[in-house]
């Protein structure tokens, strides 16, 4: 059966406006956390976030078009353009129907929805924008990227909370494996750093409130962690069948080797504390990749920095790997990017690609006090040089969604 390879990558996130800038900041342990600047947060209990910095959409697209797109759609367009350019892809009438798009979002155009509600209430329905529907719908980013580039293959979005990006890449992986398409643009985008978004996640007890001293938050796997920091951004990968990539002389970055997905069927926001669903998804991904437990050289953790997530994920890793669990380096890059909701699972695949290519494992920053319940090798505070052949990435979402992807060094 065809191997699926990664030939292009693009991203806009709190650490950078492209892959190179992001990777440099990531391995240097740069934090993306800062005071919220996108809106007035004075009436909220949370005043910090990981915002995308210095993002001016008019530099990347026509100003009129930018105003008709929600922020999450702007992010997705830029990340997709980067992925297409880095892959050297050319869309033509001959191949347009053989290219698919799966650009996911857990929430979609939240700011557009919130703004429209206020407009409707204060000024009446005639003042609601006629562009509201394409700005708020979660599949809007995927549809607009298809329009931008004339791509006519399968085009949709996956919504599985914080697993959306990973599940979307998994769906693209399966379509490529089946022979339905030759190429896919797969990833996710999110722009939920809004007043209502921050308030909502804070109300479920998930957010860090270290507003005055945010230099040490979030703290995944640390005993004193107090919650996640909300992030935003997009990441898109260009995926191809190996034969297609070779035939056009593409530069192959890595192999997307496996995918696994399960549901906890337990609680709408809390992960099951025993981690069985996560462990099963890890085992599925490795079986899909035809890999053994000992082949895994790095785990990109979901690692949100909440008490429940970090402990249940630790149990999931132990459940999947047994005695090997303590020997496999694992880190949470959300300690730097914040939690980009559905988009983080896609961004963390880019980090796995870079890890297998460059032999550098990103750290978990802000780590100070070990938690006996989270006793894995979390690569504390400094990146680690280590040559690896296989990395896996965990994405566990509200609703009990578990998605795991495996990335292998291409040989």
* 366 classed as catalytic: no
Q: Annotated catalytic residue: which of 149, 244, 272, 302?
A: 302
User: Which two tokens mark 80?
Assistant: 């997709």
Judge whether 387 and 339 are in contact, CB under 8 Å. Answer: no
Judge whether 263 and 402 are in contact, CB under 8 Å. Answer: yes
Classify residue 131 by its DSSP letter: T
* 50 classed as catalytic: no
Judge whether 377 and 349 are in contact, CB under 8 Å. Answer: no
Mapped onto helix, strand or coil, the DSSP state of residue 16 is strand
3-state helix, strand, coil in the chain (%, to 5): 40, 20, 40
Check the CA dihedral 167-31-17-136 and report its sign. Answer: positive
Judge whether 50 and 208 are in contact, CB under 8 Å. Answer: no
User: Which two tokens mark 276?
Assistant: 């069985």
Say how many residues make up the chain: 411
Beta-strand relationship, 99-104 and 155-156 = parallel
Q: How far apart are the first and last CA of the chain?
A: 16
* 162 classed as catalytic: yes
**Cα distance between residue 290 and residue 294, in whole Å:** 12
Classify residue 86 by its DSSP letter: H
Backbone φ and ψ of 134, nearest 5° = -65, -20
Q: Annotated catalytic residue: which of 41, 149, 272, 339?
A: 339
Peptide bond into 74 cis (omega under 30): no
Residue listed under structure tokens 């939920």: 192
Written as one string, the DSSP assignment of 338-405 is -B-GGGHHHHHHHHHHHHHHH-EE--BTT--SBBTTB-S---BSS-EE---SEEEEEEEETTTEEEEE
Judge whether 187 and 79 are in contact, CB under 8 Å. Answer: yes
User: Which two tokens mark 157?
Assistant: 């979005």
Cα 261 to the center of its chain, rounded Å: 15
Q: Annotated catalytic residue: which of 155, 162, 352, 374?
A: 162
**Cα distance between residue 231 and residue 286, in whole Å:** 29
Residues serving a catalytic function are 162, 302, 339
């Amino acid at each position: 059966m065809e191997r699926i390879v990664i030939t292009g990558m693009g991203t806009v996130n709190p650490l950078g406006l492209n892959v190179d800038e992001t990777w440099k900041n990531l391995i240097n342990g740069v934090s993306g956390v800062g005071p919220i600047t996108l809106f007035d947060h004075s009436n909220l209990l949370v005043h910090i976030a990981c915002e995308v910095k210095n993002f001016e959409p008019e530099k990347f697209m026509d100003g009129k078009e930018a105003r008709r797109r929600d922020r999450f759609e702007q992010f997705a367009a830029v990340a997709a353009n980067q992925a297409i350019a880095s892959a050297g892809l050319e869309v033509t009438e001959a191949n347009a129907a053989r290219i698919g798009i799966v650009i996911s979002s857990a929430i979609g155009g939240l700011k557009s929805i919130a703004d429209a509600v206020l407009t409707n209430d204060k000024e009446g329905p005639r003042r609601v924008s006629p562009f509201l529907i394409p700005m708020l719908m979660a599949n809007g980013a995927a549809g607009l990227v298809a329009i931008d580039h004339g791509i006519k293959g399968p085009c949709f979005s996956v919504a599985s909370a914080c697993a959306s990006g990973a599940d979307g890449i998994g769906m693209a992986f399966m379509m490529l494996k089946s022979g339905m398409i030759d190429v896919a643009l797969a990833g996710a985008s999110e722009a939920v750093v809004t007043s209502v978004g921050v308030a909502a996640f804070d109300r479920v007890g998930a957010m860090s409130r270290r507003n005055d001293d945010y230099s040490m938050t979030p703290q995944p796997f640390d005993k004193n962690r107090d919650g996640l920091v909300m992030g935003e951004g997009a990441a898109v990968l260009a995926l191809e069948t190996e034969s297609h990539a070779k035939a056009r002389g593409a530069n192959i970055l890595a192999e997307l080797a496996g995918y696994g997905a399960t549901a906890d069927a337990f609680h709408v926001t809390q992960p099951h504390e025993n981690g069985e669903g996560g462990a099963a998804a890890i085992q599925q991904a490795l079986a899909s990749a035809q890999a053994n437990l000992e082949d895994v050289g790095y785990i990109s953790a979901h690692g949100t920095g909440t008490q429940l997530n970090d402990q249940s994920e630790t149990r999931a890793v132990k459940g999947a790997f047994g005695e090997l669990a303590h020997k496999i380096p694992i880190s949470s890059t959300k300690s730097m990017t914040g939690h980009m909701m559905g988009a983080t699972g896609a961004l963390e695949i880019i980090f796995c690609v870079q890890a297998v290519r460059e032999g550098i494992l990103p750290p978990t920053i802000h780590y100070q006090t070990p938690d006996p319940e989270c006793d894995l090798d979390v690569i504390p505070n400094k990146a680690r040089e280590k040559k690896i052949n296989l990395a896996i990435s965990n994405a566990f979402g509200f609703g009990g969604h578990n998605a795991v992807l495996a990335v292998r060094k291409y040989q």
